Amino acid sequence: MGRLKTLWSIGVILGLSAPAVAADFSPPPPPPPGPIVSELGSGWYLRGDVGWVEFSDPGKLPLGAGLPFDRVGLRETWSVGGGIGYQINSWFRTDVTADWRNDAKFFGVNSGSNYVNGYSIDNGKIESSTLLLNGYIDFGAGTALRPMSAPASASPRTTSTPTPARSPA
């Protein structure tokens, strides 16, 4: 019986020291690949512009009936615009913009008779809007300083609202 006890003890020890493979779980399988997503519209962008307009020499502007003004003034104004564009590749992009320039108040003093027969004071407001088609060539793509060339095609519209002219007596 001593021999049976010895064999039984060896069997128990070997059974306890063997790895327990039946209770281990294998790692979960990787998730199935998701749907292939193609990025649509990655080159599209929106732009907005806000500006301040000062006229450097309004006497050179073609205002009024073409008579030279002795004194002329054109007040500063502001402008706003926006557009949508598309970057075709890393060095070329294009956009369409619309801009509107707020009313700029105008006045001018002139006399067709060199002040012999009097003079006139013209007042009014000038408003303008533009529609631009722009193309940009980026010469320094990937650098901190990006020089570019931007040819544009414009469709401007300018309206003027005159106030009644008065001639002092």
Around 152, how many Cα atoms within 13 Å sit in the side-chain half-sphere? 14
Contacts of 154 (CB under 8 A, 6+ apart): 130, 131, 132
pLDDT-above-90 percentage for the chain: 11
pLDDT of 165 > 60? The answer is no
The domain limits of the chain are: 40-166
| CA distances from residue 89 to 11, 93, 113 in whole angstroms, order as listed | 75, 7, 61
**Model pLDDT, residue 67:** 57
Contacts of 92 (CB under 8 A, 6+ apart): 135, 136, 137, 138
More confident residue, 28 or 19: 28
Strands 120-138 and 148-149: antiparallel
More confident residue, 19 or 92: 92
Residue 24 CA, distance from chain mean position: 59
Quick: pLDDT tens for 54-103.
877 666 665 555 556 777 888 889 999 999 999 888 788 899 999 998 98
Q: Report the pLDDT averaged over residues 11-25.
A: 61
Question: Please, are residues 122 and 64 in contact by the beta-carbon 8 Å criterion?
Answer: yes
Q: Which two tokens stand for residue 89?
A: 């590749």
Q: Which DSSP letter does residue 106 get?
A: E
